[in-house]
Amino acid sequence: MQDRDVAECWEANADAWTRHVRAGFDIYRDALNTPAFLAMLPRVSGLSGLDIGCGEGANTRQIARLGAIMQGIDVAPTFVRHARTAEAAEPLGIVYQTADGTNLPFEENGFDFATAFMSLMDIPDQAKVLREAHRVVRRGGFLQFSILHPCFVPAYRKVLRDGDGKTRAVEVGGYFDRIDGRVDTWWFSTLSADAREKDAPFRIPRFHRTLSEWVKMICEAGWVIEQFAEPCADAELAEREPVVADTRVVPISLIIRARKPT
């Protein structure tokens, strides 16, 4: 699958995706992944940051609210348009533009840090994005990003439940299969039947890499890995939001922070 086809898929997803996430259907993001990401984020107040694959900008806004001076880029113009509308409604000083993470329209060393929330695994040439992020972040700056967990969301994944619906285990396979643009179709699992009638499922091109491939790409881009986190719902969250209870058995996402050496 070509980069252009991937961009077209995301552009086609962008309107419904924005409506659904703003209506609260991305429970993994809002209840688990973003809080874990922010808990791991170093202090960013007063720092300049770039959010790569910002989507409609919810997570870019979260970082801006911590005092960072943010720019956000996304390959899908419709996401950028929705992000700008949110910026107009609640000005946080964020500048958004349509751009490809593999070809960032910024000079070298211009940012103190970069983030990417659940976007790098959606990009065919992840090594190139990691090199581009390294180029635009200053020495001593960092990149923090989250991805679908390579070990627990590989080519094949099936949640195995007890009779009462409780997650018992997660069956995975095809870990070493190089998935390059397989299009998965899904809605957020809590989406109502009415909404499913109205909006076609998202079409998400997948680019699975093994954990060792990710580590190799990160290190070859010049980053030094600093920290990993694997978000896990606590008992109270799993009770309140049963959809994320499977993360008490195995994680669904991996957060990585890496630093550009001084």
Ligand X SMILES: C[S@@+](CC[C@H](N)C(=O)[O-])C[C@H]1O[C@@H](n2cnc3c(N)ncnc32)[C@H](O)[C@@H]1O
Longest CA–CA separation in the chain, Å: 56
Region 225-254 residues binding ligand X, contact defined as CB under 6 A: none
- Contacting residue, 18, 59, 144, 247, with ligand X by CB under 6 A: 59
By CB under 6 A, residue 58 contacts ligand X: yes
CA atoms of 127 and 118, how far apart (whole Å): 15
Angle at 251 between CA 156 and CA 193, to 5 degrees: 65
Check: CB of residue 246 under 8 Å from CB of residue 160.
no
Q: Convert residues 83-112 into a mask of x (bound to ligand X by CB under 6 A) and - (unbound).
A: -----------------xxx----------
CA atoms of 7 and 125, how far apart (whole Å): 13
By CB under 6 A, residue 37 contacts ligand X: no
Bridge-partner residues for 158, per DSSP? 171
Check: CB of residue 155 under 8 Å from CB of residue 125.
no
By CB under 6 A, residue 188 contacts ligand X: no
* 50 vs 54 by CB, closer to ligand X: 54
CB of 205 to ligand X, least distance (A): 9
By CB under 6 A, residue 6 contacts ligand X: yes
By CB under 6 A, residue 117 contacts ligand X: yes
**Is the four-CA dihedral 171, 176, 177, 178 of positive or negative sign?**
positive
Which residues of the chain form contacts with ligand X (CB under 6 A)? 6, 10, 29, 53-55, 58-59, 73-76, 79, 100-102, 117-119, 122-123
